[in-house]
Amino acid sequence: MSTITTKDGTEIYYKDWGEGPVVTFSHGWPLSADAWDGQMLFLVQNGFRVVAHDRRGHGRSSQTSAGNNMDGYADDLAAVIEALDLTGASLVGHSTGGGEVARYIGRHGTGRVAKAVLISAVPPLMLQTKANPEGLPKSVFDELRAGLFKDRSQFYKDLALMFYGANRSGAKVSQGILDQFWLWSMQSGVKNAYDSIEAFSETDFTEDLKKFDIPTLVMHGEDDQIVPVKDSGPKSAQLIPGSQEIYYPGAPHGMTATLQDKVNEDLLAFLKS
């Protein structure tokens, strides 16, 4: 397998396809780089080089005990970028991966970065606090932890329905899409997935977003049941100077799959702009 080894000895699996301008992909929780296949193949066919890694503890990367936090995730992304000597890269992050991209820029800057795309992303902060009263109560994330601990296989099957909006009246989501969510999720380490809930829900990315000094696109579904749009997209866009925004009526959290063609079209237009 194609892997790099980080400073703490963690093996990070990655895919590296095609030739041309570089686009990196950071996946959502608790999935793997495979969740980006629909975007990666499309961009390869349109003249881009695409790189996606499995977050530590997910997919084919090491199931580490430590480093399951946003600083660790951002440093792993940096390790991949540096090992492959990527420059002028466009960083694309979905959900938790959007937090990973934000923290990467916050910690490592934009010296190797040309553009950024945040899709259904967790920044600036998911958790309800005094400073963020519109966020989700901690009890929501405690329920995620409880479900993961009790019966993670059934938990992931149930979560897939919300993730792709298959629980909405009239939704047309294939069984295959739901099944692949379960498969990818079950490949993650249970401790890694458990720790990651705190990472994506309690990390405040406000200061990271203020450091964005490159063209940025914010994309979000208006019927996102995982990361509610009102708590994320518009707030992030306000913090990123000159950012562009696209909102998709009725679209779920997993719109990279359910609206693959439209998302690909908009992503390509931004990357070529």
Annotated active-site positions, please? 95, 224, 253
DSSP tag of 53? E
DSSP tag of 127? B
Cα–Cα dist 254/219, whole Å: 12
Phi, psi of 7 (to 5 degrees): -60, -30
| Contact residues for 75 (Cβ-Cβ < 8 A; gap 6+) | 6, 7, 67, 107
Q: In sequence order, what are the beta bridge partners of 217?
A: 117, 244
DSSP tag of 54? P
Q: How would you classify the pairing of strands 22-26 and 89-94?
A: parallel
Cα–Cα dist 61/27, whole Å: 13
160-165, Cβ contacts within 8 angstroms, sequence gap of 24 or more? 162/225, 162/226, 162/252, 162/253, 163/225, 163/226, 163/252, 163/253, 163/254, 164/252, 164/253, 164/254, 164/257, 164/258, 165/221, 165/223, 165/225, 165/250, 165/251, 165/252, 165/253, 165/254, 165/258
DSSP tag of 242? T
